[in-house]
Amino acid sequence: MFTQHNTSTVKTVFQQGDFVLYRDPARFWTGKPDHTFVCRIETVWATGTYTLTALVTGNTVYDVRPDYMRLLPPVDAMRDIDTAPLNTGTGADDMTAAAMAWLTQQQHATANRRPELPDQS
């Protein structure tokens, strides 16, 4: 007897510029290495497919179905900044160099001026 299972999942809507983890299904199912890598979405097509650029190699990946992509949320990339224990003496030691550079830049940019609200126009 054939039983149909409900395999509905929440569909993620990807946008140009999003960072995603992409798994090349042909490489994955044939057991080849390097089948999963980080990409940036370059083009969103009306057909529901995407054109990606692999971040490490710069190679273009065409006609990608969204089923083989997972969004890499900015909150994950920025977690070390958001959770750094800056009120302790060792908090800054645990941060990456990029996080420290960003915090230093923000401190210098706002040190000598009043905080302002963003332009509402």
71-120 pLDDT, tens digit each: 998 888 888 777 777 665 555 566 667 666 777 776 666 565 555 666 66
Specify the pLDDT at position 5.
Answer: 47
Q: What is the pLDDT of residues 35-53, one digit of tens each?
A: 999 999 999 999 999 999 9
Q: Which residue has the higher pLDDT, 19 or 95?
A: 19
Residue 104 is inside which H or E element, if any? helix 97-110
* Long-range CB pairs of 36-42, under 8 A, 24+ apart, other chains included: 38/72, 39/69, 41/14, 41/15, 41/16, 41/17, 42/16
Q: Are 86 and 92 in contact (CB under 8 A)?
A: yes
